[in-house]
Structure 1
């Protein structure tokens, strides 16, 4: 098994080496109820026969509850194993410290009435010392995104010889079981995905084919499968529908010459369906003002300048120039470069980079980059506030 994270930036889909057992054997190892197990096997045979309309491709409410419970138990098992080993605990502490400094994200399955900072401090204390498995309550189970990031950190840092040790094998087995449960969700929602993707707006159909939309929608189901629990108060089909549509929207709009925010597209569509011409025109205006053209560096966003007031356009160019001047003169070289890369300024115009890319370039954690960016933006804000009011 390789210990490097794949180049694909899909951090919330945990990866493992190729399974040595068949899907049937993986399902049997989970110990699911006889009815659900039989449905999985029947659904697999239906798909192998290319009968996508098979009657087995569905999830009952009981199936959803059973699968969600098993996913939660596996996440809890992962949390227990992380708490028991020094290398695993260090990976968890790194993620909790660096990734969650600047974002309001849940760490545990149940946060109750605690603030994000109180939950973070509790998590840091919990994983700062060896913990017996029995002392980790179910409420302290990792949220999926935390689990995925901890696992990615572990396989990135683990020495190849360590991957053969029993404790690593145990942790890897949990990830494999989680992925098997994810595959069951995907298998039994094939009909749901096809139904939803067949009803997407024509705006997205211009960018992707129906088959592409189905494949992309399956990634949405995968993301929903790791996160879903009946305590959310909805059926899995309802919860997964959001992720399916979100995935199709993002992927279909991402590769366009003109990048259009999915939220604005949906607002225009809703207004058109309701016959609300005022709201539709307002949304179109917002769209024209926020659209980004992916073209040559020499012609940044000039294609839409004729729709703007000339005086405002000149003012915007002047403000852009002042901002670049402030970035170069006020900030240290490293902070200035990070801001330029993040927001596509200066020599990076039209080529904004993610925090993941920037952290790899500088060889530091994303948490460090977040902190530098936060301090840099605060310094810029103070400088511009003073200079523009003089």
Structure 2
């Protein structure tokens, strides 16, 4: 039973075109790839499954294809109520008020990386900018010293590219390196704790559930999970935004001339280029959706990238439109108990990144072929740019 094949070669645009077909013809689709999985394409189905953590669990398989090589990583790999204490510990460190203090740091990082691109007259916006910026931001959020920031930046960038290139050997190698870095961070915070209200690792170590601390390996897994989620999505999204703006020079000029529009523009980019299509759930019972029965225990991909273009919710959903009246319906940060805990920091990074791209880069255009990502992400992996003469 093969309604679509995610292993076929893709272009930057082909997957979203295929999802538009599936929304109309086969909104509850099945693929035989990676041992077989289902995919929900419609907004209402994705939103309902994401919100129903009792029926659709994440503890069996949380991404298609399954890429975990080691133990569980809270909070994504756990179901309520087991996941809740981990999320409750991280949430106070990721509120809009808490992350606002990182804006100057994010802006400085963006300026340094973008100025280096300008100095050499162009480059790959993903390799030179978006694969590096979020890693350095997260390193600061985790209070790493300079030497560890450089190490995380190197390993994180390699992991990022390996995952998006479907290089399983390199993915496993760099994943284990990230685990080792997380273990070292836990050891450092045990030896010299920081303020739990300002440091994620110290907060996880200080938390007690029924009088007991979190197991060390679960703390390590949480840190490892937070690192990876915060690294990959911004890389892909900024690459997709650069493609869009290269193709729409009028919009690029408009955002340069009216930078006050950039926050709203980024919200629309988040909807249009939602970078995830492979976050998965597993039903605990047989579930019927739109006349098709998904058996208990089979993986179900929540295709957020398709749901956010659903024409039943977003008029002309594959078109960029500033000022959409129903942006609150966008699922770009998920829905339900596993909605992105770092949404405020991610949005701040992305808005600042686009502001600095418009302020510091000359008018840019595509300078070569776009290399797209594959499951579980969707978007641009490599975007070579050329700059107009000054």
Bin for the TM-score computed over the shorter chain: under 0.3
More contact order relative to length (CA 8 Å, sep ≥ 6) = 2
Task: Name the larger-Rg structure.
Answer: 1
TM-score, length of structure 1 as denominator length:
0.24
Structure having the larger proportion of residues in strand: 2
Structure having the larger proportion of residues in helix: 1
